[in-house]
Chains A and B, each alone.
Chain A
Amino acid sequence: MPEVRLVEVSKRFRRIKAIDDLNLEIRNAEYLCVLGPTGSGKTTLLRLIAGLLQPDEGEIVMDGRRVNDLPAEERDVAYMPQQYALFPHMTVLDNVTFGPLSRGRDPAESLRAALDVLKLVRLDERADAFPNELSGGMQQRVALARGLASGAKLMLLDEPLAALDARLRVELRYRLKSMVKSMGLTALHVTHDQREAMIVADRIVVLRTGRCEQVGTPFHVYQRPDNLFVANFVGDTNFLEGTVSKIDSTGAFVELRGGLNVRVQETSFLADERVVLTIRQESTSVKAHGWEGINALPGAIQAIRFLGDSLRIEIRLANGDEVGARVPLARAETYPRVNEKVVVSFKPPDVSVYSTPLRGLAKEIEVI
């Protein structure tokens, strides 16, 4: 039985709809990630579920009970804002026991629960420290411990890793998820970082301007984006615009500008329909100049970006379109050079086809 359900929920701030007719289901013991750019309504969503905001329309149901009018202090949730909001005048221990004590639990029991959780996050030795004496990573763990110790079944995490250095984020995200899972809790984790979402989530909800663009497992959302926005937001994708020229039994041909032709496996579009092709950058190969084969598009290397375990090669095709190819460093045959002439290729099954959006591709996928 789902733990939390949002049914046609809307929330307006002045004229703007921060959440627009949203339907959402959070399953028991699930680690759900809400992924979206700034301004997509992720924080509003969290605050609605926490009870800090009331929806203008729709219902919020928790464990089968309608909670629209239930005040925040009576909902069984632990809310962790982006900057943690640790009580600066209380020690780590007092911060962590605040929840159980406020709910009227026995002081001795609260203390024990707090120490257990502090041990879990490996901060039991700093129980008497004040928040401003701790590093960023430690503060995050205290905030987490405070939420875990409160006895709440649902954790609402607002960009829990955003305030940390990039490298630390990568380290801590695994630990964050395992801690929540080990206690059997349900979590709603909000983020703008799709790589983070892919790794920690059981399911991902992609949000844009208050609406849900897609829901699914990371694998599903990555392999089968429902629309161009998701295709761009999740993963690194190449976009090529063109027109369907010929359709046959196993696929179709799409003509790009400048007369380049691409073979795809889609057959559901009609001739002369304007479409957008998407190909993941890791599925885009770079071949030597003169290579011939399916979908061989000539171009020249504009830039090479070192990404650690891989290279991103930015190529301008002969027709002016720009694409990127992600090549694992370990498998790079030779190190390419800027301005080198190359041929870009990809396999037909790796190409997804979408109708060209009415407002144009750029507006459709824009994130800023």
Chain B
Amino acid sequence: MTSNMRTETRRLVEGALARLDALSASRVIRKGVYLGALLFFIIVILIPPIIGILLKWNLIGETLQNPSQMAKAQSAILASFTIAFTVSFLDLLAGLPMAWLIVRRRGRWVSVIDTLADVPFIVPTVTLGYSVMTFWSGPKGISGLLGVEYLFSPGPMLIVLLHFAFSYPVIVRLMVGEFQGYNQVYETAARTLGAPTFTAFRTVTMPILKPAIVSAFLLAFSRSLSETGATVIVAGTFENGPVFIRNARRAGQEGPMVLVSSILIGVSVAIFAAISLLGPRLRFPSKKVWTGLEWRLSRQNAAIAKDALTLIVFGLLVALPSLFVAFPSLTGLFDGTLQTALRGSGDWARFWSSLLTSYVVGILATFINILIGFPMAVIVARRKIGNRLTAIMDALVAVPVIIPSVALGVSLSIFWNAFGDLPEFWILVLAHTTITYTYFARPMAAAIQGVSEELEEVGRTLGSRPFGTFRKIVLPLTKYSIFSSAVMVLTRSVAETGATVAVVKQLQTAPVLLVDWITHLETYGSSTVGLGILFLVLMASISLLAIRLALRRAR
């Protein structure tokens, strides 16, 4: 562009911005924007998943009459919740000491562990499913090593191992953030008063971090309930909720599908609400002190033993199983499959088009979420609707994440199809937007809250209109959060399997395609599958690296 064009564009942009500034001076317009965002959230994001399911109430009634279907449905639901609870406890138990280690220990090896702990997070869950399966029950994996046929055959145990692995990094990330933000002065104070490290941790740090621990539990819980693609891979003939729903959809059994979906939605919301409300009341034993025992636990050796155990659990149950997928992937690189892939012949044509679909849907979902999620984030962060309503909104914004994605997909497709024939693509976009809404709105709200309101106030008293204050002060200070949240949304959307299988019949996104390939391994061959996974992992790694860099710049 010539410099003339550049100055012209700049003038146009500045003119437009100035006009927006002037508009923002009007209270009516500001309230209108916030109201718009609120309405969009309620009407498009919140209501459809809840109402959709209710529209097929009659089908639920029918299924309830059918005893054999009921038996299968019940056992699937029970399995889902049992596994979710178990996995969440185990993840907390294993993840807390790991987060502690990452934050408190010094040394180069710590950052290596830190990066490795992110691995299961980077790879789309589909790949994790395949990796876990081949590690634990494939002939080339541990079973082969131990000379056993199946150490863990596809089924509930494998699901537990899978869910444990993929929620582990999430817990660790969350707790690392909490430990870093936690003001160590409380622990220091406890120690100056004579408390050894273990006592200080148990009686002071843990109770203070209780809300975070409860959040971590709920996060692992909801992820376990939601996850579909990978669970399908490792489930074999076993069925938990999402697997049941997927199978039912494939078999055309709408009744059972709707029933299990509605139960999943209802019970998970109830459990979530219960734990959120009761969690704060839960008291860790923090009054009694066992001086002798705790002094010994605080010794150097005890700490080293704890760290060693943490690392072994991490290595054996999380890192190795996640990285195992490297083998088939790398084989695919070198045995000629790469050329076929790049030529796009045969099955690969479908692969590339599914990848394209995934990213187009993802980018659209990201874009919509930024536009609509931003005002919402401002509403929550700056309490624009009063304290009580803000707290309610804050909780509601978390709902799309609480509801298991597959059930959400079922409900959404019912809802939007009730309005006539919406193309599958757009329902998919809506579904992805709904699922990832929280991934943008929540971190943005936190980031905006991190910008002191005083800065905006001073800006206003200096003569800057509300929109001007927003774009000159809040935006620059939150730009890294905007970027990293957007990338998070995109990544989450691309990796999504649950809602996708529930919503679409014809269209295939990349992960869904891969689930198909993996469950028919004989047809496609492990090299092809391995290579497909490699491409997916590559794309995901690039985006996650981008987030890492953005977050580092922000600090």
Q: Write the residues of chain A forming the contact surface with B, with a CB cutoff of 8 angstroms.
A: 50-52, 71-75, 77-81, 83, 85, 87-89, 98-99, 102-103, 146, 150, 152, 156
> Are B455 and A72 in touch, CB under 8 angstroms?
no
A103 contact from B454, B457, B463, B473, Cβ within 8 A: B463
Within residues 344 to 367 of chain B, which ones have a CB less than 8 A from any CB in chain A? none
A87 / chain B contacts, CB cutoff of 8 Å: 455, 459, 473
Chain B 419-435 interface 0/1 with A at a Cβ cutoff of 8 Å (1 = within): 00000000000000000
B454 contact from A71, A81, A146, Cβ within 8 A: A81
Other than the known A74-B463, A87-B459, A98-B464, what 16 A-B pairs have Cβ atoms closer than 8 Å?
A51-B460, A71-B25, A71-B460, A72-B461, A73-B461, A73-B463, A87-B473, A89-B476, A98-B462, A99-B463, A102-B463, A102-B465, A102-B468, A146-B458, A150-B463, A152-B461
- Using a Cβ cutoff of 8 Å, how many contacts connect chains A and B? 64
- Looking at B457, B458, B460, the one whose CB has the most chain A CB atoms below 10 A away is B458
Chain B 446-472 interface 0/1 with A at a Cβ cutoff of 8 Å (1 = within): 000000101101111111111010001
B462 / chain A contacts, CB cutoff of 8 Å: 73, 78, 98-99, 102-103, 146, 150
> Are B477 and A88 in touch, CB under 8 angstroms?
yes
A103 / chain B contacts, CB cutoff of 8 Å: 462-463
Q: Write the residues of chain B forming the contact surface with A, with a CB cutoff of 8 angstroms.
A: 25, 452, 454-455, 457-466, 468, 472-473, 476-477
Q: How far is the CA of A50 from the CA of B454 in the complex (A)?
A: 12
A83 contact from B454, B468, B472, B477, Cβ within 8 A: B454
Q: If the complex has contacts A88-B477, A89-B476, are A73 and B457 also in contact, measured as CB distance less than 8 A?
A: no
A146 / chain B contacts, CB cutoff of 8 Å: 458, 462
Q: If the complex has contacts A87-B473, A102-B468, are A78 and B459 also in contact, measured as CB distance less than 8 A?
A: no
Chain B residue at minimal CB-CB distance from A83:
B454
Chain A residue at minimal CB-CB distance from B24:
A73
A73 contact from B452, B455, B465, B476, Cβ within 8 A: B465
Q: How far is the CA of A281 from the CA of B328 in the complex (A)?
A: 88
Question: Which 4 pairs, one residue from A and one from B, show the smallest C-beta to C-beta distance?
Answer: A99-B462, A79-B461, A102-B464, A103-B463
**Could you pull out 8 A-B pairs where Cβ atoms are within 8 angstroms?**
A51-B461, A72-B457, A73-B465, A79-B461, A85-B458, A98-B459, A102-B459, A103-B462
Q: How far is the CA of A52 from the CA of B457 in the complex (A)?
A: 7
B59 to chain A, nearest CB (A): 50
B443 to chain A, nearest CB (A): 19
A75 / chain B contacts, CB cutoff of 8 Å: 461
Q: If the complex has contacts A71-B25, A89-B477, are A79 and B458 also in contact, measured as CB distance less than 8 A?
A: yes
A85 contact from B457, B463, B466, Cβ within 8 A: B457
Chain A residue at minimal CB-CB distance from B454:
A85
B454 / chain A contacts, CB cutoff of 8 Å: 81, 83, 85
Q: How far is the CA of A102 from the CA of B24 in the complex (A)?
A: 14
B450 to chain A, nearest CB (A): 12
Q: How far is the CA of A175 from the CA of B511 in the complex (A)?
A: 68
B466 / chain A contacts, CB cutoff of 8 Å: 73
> Are A79 and B457 in touch, CB under 8 angstroms?
yes
> Are B461 and A52 in touch, CB under 8 angstroms?
yes
Q: If the complex has contacts A50-B461, A78-B462, A85-B454, are A73 and B25 also in contact, measured as CB distance less than 8 A?
A: yes
A187 to chain B, nearest CB (A): 14
> Are B464 and A73 in touch, CB under 8 angstroms?
yes
Q: How far is the CA of A75 from the CA of B461 in the complex (A)?
A: 7
A91 to chain B, nearest CB (A): 13
Q: How far is the CA of A85 from the CA of B459 in the complex (A)?
A: 9
Chain B residue at minimal CB-CB distance from A147:
B462
B463 / chain A contacts, CB cutoff of 8 Å: 73-74, 99, 102-103, 150
Q: How far is the CA of A147 from the CA of B109 in the complex (A)?
A: 50
> Are A73 and B477 in touch, CB under 8 angstroms?
no
> Are B458 and A73 in touch, CB under 8 angstroms?
no
A150 / chain B contacts, CB cutoff of 8 Å: 462-463
- Looking at B457, B459, B461, the one whose CB has the most chain A CB atoms below 10 A away is B461
Q: How far is the CA of A74 from the CA of B465 in the complex (A)?
A: 9
A215 to chain B, nearest CB (A): 25
> Are B452 and A85 in touch, CB under 8 angstroms?
yes
Chain A residue at minimal CB-CB distance from B387:
A14
Chain A residue at minimal CB-CB distance from B451:
A88
Chain A residue at minimal CB-CB distance from B473:
A87
Chain B residue at minimal CB-CB distance from A146:
B462
A99 / chain B contacts, CB cutoff of 8 Å: 462-463
Chain B residue at minimal CB-CB distance from A75:
B461
Q: How far is the CA of A89 from the CA of B465 in the complex (A)?
A: 19
A153 to chain B, nearest CB (A): 13
A74 / chain B contacts, CB cutoff of 8 Å: 463
Q: How far is the CA of A50 from the CA of B460 in the complex (A)?
A: 10
